[in-house]
Structure formats: C-alpha cells, structure tokens
C-alpha cells in the first residue's frame, strides 16, 4: 500500500495572499490549451489564426470557471448555495463540475463562433483535443487538495490517508489509528484516462481531416465512457451518495447524455460525409 504524502494545498503563502495548487493546475491547463491551439492553428486547412486561438482561450477560461463552479453548486452543492449564496465564489476551496464547465465552454464556443462567423461545431472540433490536458491538471489538483477519493481497496497502489487530515476516512477505525484503510486514488485514474489517454486519442484522430462534428462527438463519447467507468471505484459525494441501485452516481447520470449526444454527432457527421461523397460520384 502507498501512503498519501499529505501535500499542502497552498503552493505559496504571502501573508493575506495564498496561491493554491488547485488554481495553478487550472492555469497550467489553460496555458497548455493555448500552446496546443497555437500549434494547431499552423495548419492552414483549419482556417484558424493565432488571434482566434487567443480569443478562444479567453472565452474558454470564463466558460470553464463560471460554468464549472455554477454546475458544481447546482449538481453537487445546492444545499451550500441555499445556506450562503456567496459560496458560489469560493473557487479556491475546490468544487468544480466538469459537466457544468462543459456547458460553460459550449456557451463560450457559441459566442466565439458568432464573432468570427464560424459554425458552432467548427469551434468545438478545433477545441476538443485542447481540453484533456486541462482535465489532467485539474485532477492532479484534486489529488493535491485531497478530495474526490475512491472507494476502499486492497490493490497494491491503494492510498492510505493520514487520519488527522482525513478524519472522515477513519471514522470506523480505532482512536489510535494514524492511517485510514487504503482507498483508490481515483483522481489519478481520471488524470490518466480523461487527461492523458483522451488527449492522445483526440490528437491522433484530429491529425487528419475529419467531417465536421466528428471530433466533438468523439470527445463526448470517450469522456462519458471513461467517466462512467471511473465512477465505479470513486466514492460518491458524501452528502449525495448513490442515486440508485447501490452504484449509480451523479457523475454517471450526467455522463450518459454525453455519450448519446456524441454518438448522434458522429453518426450525423459521417452520414453527411457519405452523402456528399455520393453526390460527387
């Protein structure tokens, strides 16, 4: 078994100013998306310029942070929002929803498409492979924050947590216990799957010309499947628990429509491509 290194969530403490690793991970994700977007914009067939990429990242930052936080408070922390509406703005404490962030980015993509007179899916197809590095960084931020742990496990890479920092993980242990039973480091699973693996898949897929909507559809399908799989070993939010059947989580419920929507987009993309090819013959 492994022991959690008890990382300090605060990267830099400057008196009243505290810089959290969680925020730095988001910054890293945005920088990675900007650099990758600039790289992709070098391909003339895509029709993107450096200025358009800059605007895309600017709109995207607002969509991710605004949508991610609002989505978390609505989907996972509505009771906290009712108690104190100002909790919506306490982003430095963690609590961001991918699904809310996705909706925020879709709004940002729509606004950017209108500005540059592009099709909505032209924007989302270009954006799709730029997102996973940010997901990877965000999950590493969750790990440093010590949140979103998995269920208990006996696998060799299971993580034991210090009871003084994670008392909820040690409620059924003797008072003298220093470490919790091992749990899945589900944040790292998600960093590897939703981050690294999804990035490789989308980057390779988009390295060749694809029909409009195909990359967006593949992103939705792939993320939805990977998220559903990880949710089987990730512990549900304590204040929500399982929604049904003793295993269904909120993350899975929000991911099923992604898969359905992604499959629909891919079907439409390749049907249109086939119809266009048939008209040319």
pLDDT of residue 247: 84
3-state secondary structure of 86: helix
Burial bucket for residue 102 (CB in 10 Å: 0-12, 13-18, 19+): buried
Task: Check pLDDT > 90 for residue 158.
Answer: yes
pLDDT of residue 91: 62
Q: How confident is the model at residue 52 (pLDDT cuts 50, 70, 90)?
A: very high
pLDDT of residue 16: 80
Residue 223: CA count within 13 A, CB half-sphere: 27
pLDDT of residue 222: 97
Q: What is the mean pLDDT of residues 2-17?
A: 88
Task: Check pLDDT > 90 for residue 65.
Answer: no
Q: How confident is the model at residue 79 (pLDDT cuts 50, 70, 90)?
A: confident
pLDDT of residue 281: 53
Average pLDDT of the chain? 90
Q: How confident is the model at residue 245 (pLDDT cuts 50, 70, 90)?
A: confident
Task: Check pLDDT > 60 for residue 68.
Answer: yes
% of the chain surpassing 70 pLDDT:
93
Task: Check pLDDT > 80 for residue 82.
Answer: no
Note the pTM of the prediction, 2 decimals: 0.88
Task: Check pLDDT > 80 for residue 23.
Answer: yes
DSSP label of 156: T
**Do 123 and 113 contact (CB within 8 A), yes or no?**
yes
Q: What is the mean pLDDT of residues 84-96?
A: 66
115-138 tens-digit pLDDT: 999 999 999 999 999 999 999 999
Task: Check pLDDT > 60 for residue 112.
Answer: yes
Domain ranges of the chain: 2-167+177-274
- What is the Cα–Cα distance from 152 to 184, expressed in whole angstroms? 6
Cα 245-219-108 angle, rounded to 5 deg: 105
pLDDT of residue 277: 63
**Do 94 and 138 contact (CB within 8 A), yes or no?**
no
């Amino acid at each position: 078994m492994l022991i959690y290194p008890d990382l300090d969530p605060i990267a830099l403490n400057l008196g009243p100013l505290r810089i959290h690793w969680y925020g730095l991970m988001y910054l890293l994700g945005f920088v990675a998306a900007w650099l990758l977007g600039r790289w992709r914009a070098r391909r003339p067939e895509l029709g993107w310029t450096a200025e358009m990429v800059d605007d895309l990242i600017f709109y995207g930052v607002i969509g991710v942070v605004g949508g991610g936080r609002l989505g978390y408070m609505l989907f996972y922390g509505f009771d906290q929002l009712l108690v104190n509406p100002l909790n919506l703005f306490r982003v430095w404490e963690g609590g961001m929803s991918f699904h809310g962030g996705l909706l925020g980015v879709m709004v940002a993509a729509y606004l950017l498409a209108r500005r540059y007179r592009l099709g909505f899916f032209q924007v989302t197809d270009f954006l799709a492979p730029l997102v996973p590095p940010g997901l990877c960084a965000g999950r590493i931020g969750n790990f440093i924050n010590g949140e979103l742990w998995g269920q208990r496990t006996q696998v060799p890479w299971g993580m034991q947590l210090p009871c003084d920092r994670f008392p909820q993980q040690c409620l059924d242990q003797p008072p003298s216990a220093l470490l919790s039973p091992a749990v899945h480091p589900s944040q790292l699973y998600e960093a590897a799957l939703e981050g690294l693996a999804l990035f490789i898949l989308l980057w390779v897929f988009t390295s060749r010309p694809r029909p409009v909507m195909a990359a967006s559809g593949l992103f939705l399908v792939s993320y939805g499947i990977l998220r559903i799989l990880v949710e089987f070993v990730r512990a549900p939010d304590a204040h929500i628990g399982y929604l049904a059947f003793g295993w269904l989580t909120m993350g899975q419920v929000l991911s099923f429509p992604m898969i359905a929507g992604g499959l629909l987009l891919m079907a439409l993309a390749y049907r249109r491509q086939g119809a266009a090819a048939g008209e040319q013959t």
